[in-house]
Amino acid sequence: MAGLRRRLVKRRIRIRRTRGRRLRRALVVLLALLTNLVGAAVVAYHLTKIPEPHPETAMQSTVFVDDHGDYLGRRGPVDRQEIPLSQVPRYVQEAVIAAENRSFRTDTGISPKAIARAAWSTVSGGGRQGGSTITQQYVKNALLSPQQSLSRKAREALISIKLDRTRSKDEILQGYLNTVYFGRGAAGIQSAARNYFGVDAKDLTVSQGAALASVINIPSYYEKAGSDPKVTAKLVDRWEWVLDAMAHSGAITSAQRAGARFPAFRFYPPGDTDGQRQYLIDAAASEAADRLGITEDQLARGGYTVRTTFDLTAQDATAELAADGTEKKTGEKTAEEKTAEEKAGGKKRAEVKTTGDVRVHTAVVALVPGDGAVRVLYGGADYASQPFNDARDGAVEAGTALQPFSGMKLLAPLTDLTRTAAPTPLRLASAYATAAAHGVYATPYTVAKITRAGRTLYEAHPRTRTAMTRADAGMVAKLLYGRLDAPLATQTGAAGLRTLWQTTYDEHLTLTVALFAEHPAKGKKAALPAPLPYTAGSRSLSVSEGVWSKIAGTAEGHDPAAEPNPGLPTGQTKPILATR
C-alpha cells in the first residue's frame, strides 16, 4: 500500500510539472488551427468573385400605358422592370428594411446567427431557416442558385461580405428591390406596385409600401390578399408590425402611423385582358420596335415603358358599345329593328332578310387631325378569337364612303385614295382627318414616348404634309357640315347592303366607324359576306355618338371617376389605374 501511495504521489507531481507544457502545446495547436482557418477564409475571400446576375434576373418586360398613363399591359418573359432607387420613396425603402433586415444600414452584409442556424438546420436535417440579411437575399436570389447546402451557404456569406465592402448600401438595396419576388408574378418593386395597386413605385403611399414590404415574407401566400379574407387578416397583422417598427425607428412620424389605413388591393387573380388591349399593344409594339430600330422580341425583353396615344376609357367604351349585336340571328325582326331602317343601294335594310347566324364586324378609329395621334383603334370583339385587327389592317368595301373626295387632286399619301375599292378604316379616317386639318395630312401614330430607367429614348413629333388644297378641304367640310351652324361634319357611306361607314369630325377629332357582316366559317366552309342586319344604322350611330362623347366629354353628367370597375374592391369606384 505504501508503495502504491508513493507511485500516485509521484504521478501527481509529474502531471503538475508537465501541465503547463501540455496546455502550451494545445494552445499552439489551437492557434495553428485558427490561423489556418482564418488564412483559408482570407484566401477564399480574395478568390471569391462577385458573379454577374443570372439571366433570369437581368430580363425585364416592356410596359405599355395609355395617353393618360393608365396601364394597358406588358410584353416580355418576366414581369419585371428595373428602376433607380431614386424612384422608390424613402418610406418604402424603410418599410422593406423594417420587414426584412432592420440592421441593414449598419451590418456587414451577413447575420452570423442566421448562418449558424441555417447550417445547423442543414446538418440536422431540419426545415429551411430564414433570417438572412437583405444583402444575402439579394445574393441568393440574383447571383446564386437557390440550392440549400453548406457550401452554397458559405459562398453566399463570402459574396455578401465582399458585396457589402465594395458596394454602397443604396446599390445593394436597389438591386434587391429590383429582383425580389412579390407574388402575383411580379419581380421587383415596380411591377409589384402595378400588380397590387395599379400605380408606379414612385407613387406608392406609406400604407401601400408597408403592405408590399409585408408580402415579401411569404409572397405565394400573401399574394391573395384583397380577395381571400383569411390571408388579408394575416397580412394586416404583419403590416401593423412593419408600421410600428417604422414609427419606432423614426422612418415615419407618429401622425403618419396613426393615420395609416390598410390599402385596397386589386382583385386577384386578374381577369382576362386579351379582349381589347392586345390589339392596342400589337400596334404600339410594332411601331415602338421600328422607332428604336430593334426587333419586337428585343423590345419585349428590354424593360421599356411605352406611352401610347390611346385613350383607354374611350377604347373600353367602344368595346361595350360595339359588343351589342356582334353575332345575331337575322331571320326575325324585332320592334327596334323595324324602326331602324336604313337605305342602301336603293333598298331598305329592313326589306332584306337572311337566314342563319350573321357576325357583324365593327371597326372604329379615332385620331387627332393635323397631329395623327390615334385615340381609339377598335379592331375586333376579342383578340383571343380574332387577332387580326379590322381597324388597322382590314380591307372594307368603301362604296360611297369616299364620294366627297371625287374629282379632287389628292397628293401623297392620298393620291390613289379614290381608286381604292376597299381601304382600311384607319386610312379612310386619315383622309377625313386631312380635310378636318384644312388639307394637312398627318401620319397616324400610336407611340407618344419611349423611356427606360427614367431616360427618354424616343418622343413622337407629328409628321405632316399637304395632301389636298385648303379649298378642296373646305369643299369637303361644306358638303359634310350641310349647314353653317352644324356642330360636326358627318359622312355616311355604304357599299350596297354589305358595308356601312360613318365618319364624324371637327378640327379636334376625327372618328370613323365601319360595319360589315359575314356568315361565319363552319368546318371546311369559308366565311361568306352577308347583308348587314336591320339595326346596323342605329348601331353605327350609337357607337359613333358614344365614343365621341367619351373622348370629347360631351356626355351628360359623365364622370369617369364614378364609373364602376369590376377589378376594384367592393365599394371603390375610382378607376383603379387612373392617374389623371
Identify whether the C-beta of residue 379 lies closer than 8 Å to the C-beta of residue 279: yes
Q: Identify the pLDDT of residue 559.
A: 38
Q: What average pLDDT does this structure show over 243-258?
A: 95
DSSP SS3 for 78: coil
* Cα torsion 274, 276, 277, 281: sign: positive
CA distance 468 to 538: 32
Render pLDDT for 476-491 as a digit per residue (tens, 0 to 9).
998 888 655 667 899 9
pLDDT over 60 at 577, yes or no: no
pLDDT over 50 at 11, yes or no: yes
pLDDT over 80 at 463, yes or no: yes
pLDDT over 90 at 34, yes or no: no
- The β-bridge relationship of strands 464-466 and 440-442 is antiparallel
Integer CA distances (angstroms), 87 to 32, 81, 190, in order? 51, 12, 9
Q: What pLDDT band is residue 327 in, cutting at 50, 70 and 90? A: very low
Identify whether the C-beta of residue 174 lies closer than 8 Å to the C-beta of residue 104: no
CA distance 399 to 438: 24
Compare 572 and 505 and report the one with higher pLDDT: 505
Integer CA distances (angstroms), 453 to 168, 286, 436, 578, in order? 20, 21, 39, 22
Compare 172 and 357 and report the one with higher pLDDT: 172
CA distance 445 to 26: 82
Q: Identify the pLDDT of residue 116.
A: 66
Q: What pLDDT band is residue 276 in, cutting at 50, 70 and 90? A: confident
Q: What average pLDDT does this structure show over 225-248?
A: 93
CA distance 229 to 235: 10
* Cα torsion 15, 17, 20, 25: sign: negative
Name the least confident of 16-25, 296-305, 365-374, 549-558: 549-558
- Least Cα distance to 217 among 182, 264, 191, 250 occurs for 182
Compare 28 and 99 and report the one with higher pLDDT: 99
Q: What pLDDT band is residue 576 in, cutting at 50, 70 and 90? A: very low
Phi, psi of 256 (to 5 degrees): -65, -40
Compare 111 and 18 and report the one with higher pLDDT: 111
CA distance 283 to 276: 12
Query: Which run of H or E residues covers position 377?
Result: strand 374-378
Phi, psi of 364 (to 5 degrees): -135, 130
- Least Cα distance to 195 among 223, 220, 217, 176 occurs for 223
Compare 578 and 330 and report the one with higher pLDDT: 330
CA distance 546 to 320: 10
**Bridge partner residues of 329 (DSSP):** 357
* Cα torsion 137, 141, 145, 146: sign: positive
Q: What average pLDDT does this structure show over 213-223?
A: 93
Q: Identify the pLDDT of residue 519.
A: 82
Name the least confident of 103-107, 142-146, 291-295, 378-382: 142-146
pLDDT over 70 at 126, yes or no: no
CA distance 64 to 62: 7
CA angle 256, 259, 261 (to 5 degrees): 115
Query: In sequence order, what DSSP letters do the residues of 439-451 get, joined into one string?
Result: TEEE--B-EEEEE
Render pLDDT for 56-110 as a digit per residue (tens, 0 to 9).
677 789 999 999 998 888 898 888 999 999 999 999 999 999 999 999 999 888 8
- Least Cα distance to 547 among 362, 313, 283 occurs for 313
Phi, psi of 49 (to 5 degrees): -110, 140
Set of cell numbers at residue 414: 392620298
- Least Cα distance to 554 among 487, 503, 496, 497 occurs for 487
Q: What average pLDDT does this structure show over 558-575?
A: 32
Q: What pLDDT band is residue 355 in, cutting at 50, 70 and 90? A: very low
Highest mean pLDDT among 112-126, 223-237, 529-543: 223-237
Phi, psi of 244 (to 5 degrees): -60, -40
Q: What average pLDDT does this structure show over 464-473?
A: 96
Render pLDDT for 387-434 as a digit per residue (tens, 0 to 9).
889 999 999 999 999 999 999 999 999 999 999 999 999 999 999 999
Q: Identify the pLDDT of residue 579.
A: 24
pLDDT over 90 at 288, yes or no: yes
Set of cell numbers at residue 157: 456569406
CA distance 446 to 66: 10
pLDDT over 80 at 214, yes or no: yes
Q: What pLDDT band is residue 243 in, cutting at 50, 70 and 90? A: very high
Name the least confident of 294-308, 350-364, 390-404: 350-364
Render pLDDT for 39-50 as a digit per residue (tens, 0 to 9).
544 544 554 666
pLDDT over 90 at 196, yes or no: yes
pLDDT over 60 at 343, yes or no: no
Q: What average pLDDT does this structure show over 241-249?
A: 96
pLDDT over 50 at 164, yes or no: yes
Highest mean pLDDT among 146-155, 200-209, 535-544: 200-209
pLDDT over 50 at 565, yes or no: no
pLDDT over 50 at 344, yes or no: no
Q: What pLDDT band is residue 336 in, cutting at 50, 70 and 90? A: very low
Q: What average pLDDT does this structure show over 201-229?
A: 93
Q: Which amino acid is at 313?
A: T
Highest mean pLDDT among 117-126, 294-303, 334-343, 350-359: 294-303
Q: What average pLDDT does this structure show over 511-534?
A: 85
CA distance 574 to 563: 7
Q: Identify the pLDDT of residue 226.
A: 83
CA distance 486 to 476: 14
pLDDT over 60 at 219, yes or no: yes
Identify whether the C-beta of residue 438 lies closer than 8 Å to the C-beta of residue 415: no
Average pLDDT, the chain: 81
CA distance 372 to 410: 18
Q: What pLDDT band is residue 142 in, cutting at 50, 70 and 90? A: confident
Q: Identify the pLDDT of residue 157.
A: 79
Question: pTM for the full model?
Answer: 0.75
